[in-house]
C-alpha cells in the first residue's frame, strides 16, 4: 500500500499545535504579531521551548511553512504498485489539498507578506516559501507520478514537466487572482476531479484510458 505523508512526519502533535497558533497570529496580526513572546503566550508554552524546537525567528518561520506545506497530502510507495483507481484517488487528494491550502487565509497571508518584503535587502521569507513550501510539495508530488509511471499507468519523458502540467491544470491562475482579492472556488473537489481527469488524458497509458472510458 501507499503511506500517507502527513503533518506528523516532522513535528510532534504539540509542535503542530504551536505552529498552528503561530500561523494564526500571522494571519490576524501580520508580521509584527509574530514574536516569540506572542507565540509562547498564544500557544501556552515557554519561549525556551520555542527556541529548543525551532531555533530563532527564521527557524520558526521555516517550521511554519514546512507545517503548512505538509497539509498538502501526497503518498510515497512502500512496496505495492499503484493501480488505476488508487492513482486517480491519490492525485485527486493532492489536487484538492493543494487548492484548499493555497486558497486558505494562512497561505495568502504568507505570500502577501513575502511579496511585500521582496524589495528588502536580506528578506528571507520568499526563499523559505520556495524551499520549505513549494519545492517540498513538488518533490513529493513528483514522487507520486514517478510511481505511476513505474506501475505502467503514466507515460512521460520528463517528470518535472508532467508535474508542472498537473500543477497548472489544478491551480491555473486561481492563486494569483486570490492574492489580488478575488474569492476562492466554491467547490474544490470538482476542480480537482476536472484537473486530474485532464492530466490522465494527457499522460495516462492505454490501460488507464481504457479503464476510464469503461467507467463513463
Same domain, 115 and 183: yes
Is 118 found in the same domain as 33? no
Can you give the pLDDT at residue 8? 44
67 lies in the same domain as 138: no
Residue 26 near residue 113, CB atoms below 8 Å? yes
- Does residue 133 sit within a domain? yes
- Is the same domain home to 98 and 189? yes
Does residue 207 sit in the same domain as residue 185?
yes
pLDDT mean over 120-137: 80
184 has a pLDDT exceeding 80: no
* Long-range pairs for 85-88: beta carbons < 8 A, 24 or more residues apart: 86/2, 87/148, 87/151, 87/153, 87/154, 87/208, 88/196, 88/200
Per-residue pLDDT at 82 exceeds 80: yes
pLDDT of residue 186: 79
Q: Please report the pLDDT score of residue 182 as a whole number.
A: 78
Query: Quick one: 51 and 98 in the same domain?
Result: no
Same-domain pairing of 101 and 199: yes
**Residue 85 confidence (pLDDT):** 92
Average the pLDDT over 53-59 and give the result: 88
Q: Please report whether residue 170 resides in a domain.
A: yes
Cell, residue 47:
519561549
112, 115, 117, 120 alpha-carbon torsion, rounded to 10°: -170
Q: For the domain that residue 199 is a member of, what is the CATH number?
A: 1.10.357.10
88 part of a folded domain: yes
Is residue 1 in a domain?
A: no
Asked if the model's pLDDT at residue 126 lies above 50, the reply is yes
Tell me how many domains the chain contains: 2
Confidence of residue 89 (pLDDT cuts 50, 70, 90): very high
CA atoms within 13 A on the CB side of 135: 8
Q: Are 98 and 60 within one domain?
A: no
Same domain, 60 and 104: no
Same domain as 109, residue 158: yes
What is the per-residue pLDDT for 120?
64
* Residue-level pLDDT at 216: 56
The per-residue pLDDT for range 187-204, each reduced to its tens digit, is 889 999 999 999 999 999
Q: What is the CATH number of the domain that holds 42?
A: 1.10.10.60
**HSE (side-chain half, CA atoms, 13 Å) at 214:** 8
Per-residue pLDDT tens over the stretch 5-50: 444 457 899 999 999 999 999 888 877 888 889 999 999 999 999 9
Looking at the structure, do residues 56 and 146 belong to the same domain, yes or no?
Answer: no
Clarify whether residues 153 and 99 are in a common domain: yes
Range of the domain at 24: 13-71
Averaged pLDDT score across all residues of the chain: 86
Amino acid at each position: 500500500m501507499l503511506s500517507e505523508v502527513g503533518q506528523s512526519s516532522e513535528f510532534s502533535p504539540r509542535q503542530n499545535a504551536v505552529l498552528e497558533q503561530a500561523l494564526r497570529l500571522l494571519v490576524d496580526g501580520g508580521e509584527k504579531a509574530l514574536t516569540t513572546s506572542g507565540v509562547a503566550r498564544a500557544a501556552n508554552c515557554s519561549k525556551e521551548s520555542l527556541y529548543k524546537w525551532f531555533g530563532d525567528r527564521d527557524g520558526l518561520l521555516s517550521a511554519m511553512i514546512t507545517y503548512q506545506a505538509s497539509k498538502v497530502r501526497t503518498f510515497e510507495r512502500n512496496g505495492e504498485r499503484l493501480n488505476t483507481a488508487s492513482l486517480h484517488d491519490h492525485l485527486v487528494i493532492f489536487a484538492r489539498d493543494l487548492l484548499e491550502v493555497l486558497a486558505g487565509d494562512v497561505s495568502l497571508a504568507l505570500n502577501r507578506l513575502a511579496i511585500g518584503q521582496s524589495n528588502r535587502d536580506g528578506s528571507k521569507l520568499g526563499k523559505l516559501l520556495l524551499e520549505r513550501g513549494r519545492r517540498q510539495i513538488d518533490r513529493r508530488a513528483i514522487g507520486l507520478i514517478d510511481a505511476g509511471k513505474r506501475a505502467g499507468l503514466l507515460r512521460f519523458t520528463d517528470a518535472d514537466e508532467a508535474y508542472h502540467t498537473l500543477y497548472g491544470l489544478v491551480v491555473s491562475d486561481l492563486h494569483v487572482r486570490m492574492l489580488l482579492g478575488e474569492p476562492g472556488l466554491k467547490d474544490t473537489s470538482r476542480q480537482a476531479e476536472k484537473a486530474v481527469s485532464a492530466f490522465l488524458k494527457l499522460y495516462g497509458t492505454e490501460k488507464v484510458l481504457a479503464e476510464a472510458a469503461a467507467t463513463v
